[in-house]
Structures are given as structure tokens and as C-alpha cells.
Amino acid sequence: MADQPHRHDHDSGEGLLSVEEAREKVLSQIQPLAPLELPLPEAFGCVLAQDVVATADLPEFASSAMDGFAVRASDVAGASPSGPVELKIVGRAMIGRRPESTVGGGETVRIATGAPVPGGSDAIVPIEDVELVGETVRIFDGVPVGKHVRPAGEDVREGQLLVGKGKRLGPPELGLLANAGFPHPLVHPRPRVVVLSTGDELVPPSEAPEFGQVHDSNAYTIFGALREVGAIPTLAGIVRDDVDQLKETVLSHLIQADAFVSSGGVSVGERDVVKAAFFRRGELEFFKVAMQPGMPQGFGFIEGKPFFGLPGNPVSVFVSFEMFIRPAILKMMGRSQLFRPEISATLAADVSGPVGKTQFARVNVIRTAEGWIAEPTGGRGSNLISTVSRANGLAIVPAGVETAREGEKVKVMLFRASED
């Protein structure tokens, strides 16, 4: 219950960090992960760490857009239905190959869609517009230079910026890099994050709890949130409220971790194992944030790897992840847009919170003819995870406001688009 404080000075927010201060404290210490050259499939969704410049024209060669005949436009300029021009077929141009011959005056080369345009020719006459007569073709109309030719460099010129540093590699960027022959772009990798749950009372979801035990749910909330933001989570399991076991588990995962997230054990109780394990070594700092839910937080570095110590209550875990860890992971991934979108919505019911703290109320936001309406999804207890499951946003009731009233506008941070 430590993150639902009853002491009055906490409710007033006195001596606590604001959400913005806490977020700044964390983010100012987080750096993007060192870039790596990753194969395209692994680089998908990652941020490019350097400009990629085209080393050749795209496409690299002029090709035909039609099945037909490659001609010199000047040869057929005078062609008409009553006075066709006859050209000698001197070879073929097939896809994936150098054309068999060039096109001289009075000559033509039979060409397939996508095949390189033979030297000497500058236009394509589609097969359906010609008449084949033995080794020659008859052409009944003039064609402008370039007709049905896809020129080299039409898409990108050699030396032109292909994809800029800082761009997130989505489907078209992946295709463009493949097209231009960059199979291992330099990107900020996805952080590998080790997830720990602390608590003597915890059992895995696969086990039936004895009276008083609870299923470890936080690990799964955190796992999903990490996956969603693009990190690579590893579940390190349940750690007892035992300092040595926690240290051992953390140290044994160091080699494969870019960051750690633990839940539980960061408040003031005597069994608060995260605090006991790291506090004295000065590696983690513990602070209280003027927010509800989610007040106590631990943050620091173990052997240079960020360690996020979240409170134990499931809603606090969700909200703390959204406020602090999600933007930090995005920053590690080299992203510049770190925060969720916020909209302004009208409250469908009163929302109360401690006056000195920012209250994050779980709401379901729907769009109506009158604008966005935010419907609270349940009580404010930080153990009520189903209230998050029914929600798509967190309504922000700022410090200084005890009750936001039905009909009033509030800011809502959307954490998913809809209820699907």
C-alpha cells in the first residue's frame, strides 16, 4: 500500500518531484544505444543512425514499360497507317540480361517489359501496334522520344539522399534500402530489457496461489508494454524479497541486458528488497513523484545499464511505465518523438484525486458529434488493473485540482487507438 500514502504531507505533494521533474531526471540520463549494422529484417522499425546516400542511379538502367520493339524515334517519325515504316529485327532484349544487340538506323530489337533498353534506341512501340512480317516489323505511327521507356535515375539520382539519419525504417524505407543495395544499415538497436518481479507473495500465473499469495501479473503488463514500444523483453521471473537473490539475478542477466525493469520493493517497508539491494551502493536513486498512482520510483544504473524500479501495484506499474520507461526506451532507440499524443476531452463523470498530485484517471475516450468524451472506467485504487483494461487513455487531473467535474475539459493521454 506504500504507493497509496496516507500521510498528509504526501497528499499535499510537499517534498515530492513533479511528474515532469521526475521524467526529466530520468530522460536526461538516458542515451541512445550505440548504433549497429543490422540486417534489413532486424533493422525494421529501428532509427537510422547515419544518412544513406545513393551510390548509383535508381533504377540503374533504362528499361521498357511494355512488351514490344525498341526503336529510334527518328526512324518512325514519318510512319502512318497508309505509309508504315518497316524495321529489321536484329535481336532480342530480355529481362535480367544485357540486350543481344544495339539498334542501328532502320533496325529494331524485340523487347520484354522490364528488359534494359538497347543502345541506339530511344522509344518502345508496343507489340499490339505493329505487324510482324518475317524478320521485319511494320510500324504505323510515329512515337515521341522516351515513349514507354523508364529512364535510369528516374526514382533517385546517384549522390542523392536516400534515407536520412533519424528516420525510422518503415516498410518503404526497408524496400528503398534493399533496392539501393544497403543490406546492413547502421541503426540504433532495440533495447533488450530484463523484467523482474519481486515479492515473497508472488506465484507464476501457471500456479494456483495458496491463500494470501498472488499471481505475478506485473511481469506480463511490462512485457507487453515493452514489446509494444519496440524493445525486446526477457522475463527473468519472480525474485523473493531477498537481497542476495535479487543481486544475483540482476548480475546474472547483465550480459544480455540493455536495461532492467523490476516491480515491487521500492517503497518504505522493511522488506523493500530493491531498495535494500542497491540503495546503499548508491547505484539507484529512490524518489517520490507527485502522482497517483505510482508514487515511489527507483532509477539508476547497474554497471552502466539503466535500472527502473517500479512500485508493485499493478496500475502504478502501468502508469509509471507510460510516464517514465516508455519515453526512456524510445530515447534509447534513437527516437525523437517520445511522448504519447494528448487530446482534450470532456469528462462524463467527476474524477477526484489527492490535491497535491497529478492524478492519472483511467478513461475510455470516444468520439461523438460534440467532440471527445472521456468516461472513467472505475475506481482509483492502484491495484485495479481491470480499470486499465477497459480504458484507452489516462485523463490527467493536474496537481492543485482536487476534483475535475463532469462536463469539464481534461487532457487525455491516449495509450491506444480504440478498444479493439
Using CB under 5 A, list all residues that contact Mg ion: 199, 264-265, 312
Element (H, E) at 326: helix 326-332
What dihedral do alpha carbons 113, 116, 119, 122 form, nearest 10°? 40
Contact (Cβ atoms closer than 8 angstroms) between residue 374 and residue 395: yes
Single-letter amino acid, residue 367: R
Residue nearest to Mg ion (CB): 264
**Shortest distance in whole angstroms from residue 18 CB to Mg ion:** 26
Residues 244-273 that bind ligand AMP (CB under 6 A): 263-265, 267, 269
Residue selected from 4, 217, 245, 346 as contacting ligand AMP according to rule CB under 6 A: 217
- Residue 267's binding partner among Mg ion, ligand AMP, none (Cβ under 5 to 8 angstroms by kind) is ligand AMP
> For ligand AMP, which is the closer residue by CB, 64 or 297?
297
Unique residue bearing C-alpha cell 548508491: 282
Interior angle at CA 229, CA 223 and CA 231, nearest 5: 65
Instruction: Examine residue 292 and tell whether it contacts ligand AMP (CB under 6 A).
Output: no
Instruction: Examine residue 298 and tell whether it contacts ligand AMP (CB under 6 A).
Output: no
Instruction: Examine residue 313 and tell whether it contacts ligand AMP (CB under 6 A).
Output: yes
Phi, psi of 246 (to 5 degrees): -65, -45
Strand 358-368 vs strand 291-292: parallel, antiparallel, or unpaired?
parallel
Instruction: Examine residue 214 and tell whether it contacts ligand AMP (CB under 6 A).
Output: yes
- Residue 130's binding partner among ligand AMP, Mg ion, none (Cβ under 5 to 8 angstroms by kind) is none
Which of the ranges 35-43, 126-134, 214-222, 343-351 carries the binding residues for ligand AMP, by CB under 6 A?
214-222
Residue 89 exposed, middle or buried by CB count within 10 Å (0-12, 13-18, 19+) = middle
Instruction: Examine residue 309 and tell whether it contacts ligand AMP (CB under 6 A).
Output: no
Q: Residues 48-67: x/- map of binding to ligand AMP (CB under 6 A)? A: --------------------
C-alpha cell at 405: 467535474
Residue 314 exposed, middle or buried by CB count within 10 Å (0-12, 13-18, 19+) = buried
Which of the ranges 15-23, 81-89, 213-221, 396-404 carries the binding residues for ligand AMP, by CB under 6 A?
213-221
Cα 304 → chain centroid? 24
Give the integer Cα–Cα distance in Å for 362 and 101: 72
Per-residue DSSP letters for 160-218? SEEE-TT-B--HHHHHHHHHTT-SS-EEEPPPEEEEEEE-TTEE-TTSPPPTT-EE--H
Give the integer Cα–Cα distance in Å for 16 and 294: 12
**Shortest distance in whole angstroms from residue 262 CB to ligand AMP:** 9
Unique residue bearing C-alpha cell 525504417: 169
Instruction: Examine residue 320 and tell whether it contacts ligand AMP (CB under 6 A).
Output: no
Give the integer Cα–Cα distance in Å for 288 and 62: 65
- Size of residue set near ligand AMP by CB under 6 A: 19
Contact (Cβ atoms closer than 8 angstroms) between residue 201 and residue 212: yes
- Residue 68's binding partner among ligand AMP, Mg ion, none (Cβ under 5 to 8 angstroms by kind) is none
- Residue 313's binding partner among Mg ion, ligand AMP, none (Cβ under 5 to 8 angstroms by kind) is ligand AMP
Give the integer Cα–Cα distance in Å for 77 and 349: 78
Residue nearest to ligand AMP (CB): 312
Numbers of helices and strands, H then E, in the chain: 10, 29
> For ligand AMP, which is the closer residue by CB, 44 or 223?
223
> For ligand AMP, which is the closer residue by CB, 161 or 214?
214
- Residue 309's binding partner among ligand AMP, Mg ion, none (Cβ under 5 to 8 angstroms by kind) is none
Nearest C-alpha neighbor of 19 from the set 253, 318, 358: 358
- Residue 334's binding partner among Mg ion, ligand AMP, none (Cβ under 5 to 8 angstroms by kind) is none
> For ligand AMP, which is the closer residue by CB, 313 or 364?
313
Instruction: Examine residue 5 and tell whether it contacts ligand AMP (CB under 6 A).
Output: no
Residue selected from 13, 116, 293, 311 as contacting ligand AMP according to rule CB under 6 A: 311
Instruction: Examine residue 199 and tell whether it contacts ligand AMP (CB under 6 A).
Output: yes
Instruction: Examine residue 375 and tell whether it contacts ligand AMP (CB under 6 A).
Output: no
Instruction: Examine residue 387 and tell whether it contacts ligand AMP (CB under 6 A).
Output: no
Which of the ranges 62-70, 85-93, 142-150, 309-317 carries the binding residues for ligand AMP, by CB under 6 A?
309-317
> For Mg ion, which is the closer residue by CB, 189 or 265?
265
Residues facing residue 298 across a β-bridge = 286, 309
C-alpha cell at 366: 470516444
**Interface residue list for ligand AMP (CB under 6 A):** 2, 197, 199, 201-202, 214, 216-219, 263-265, 267, 269, 311-314
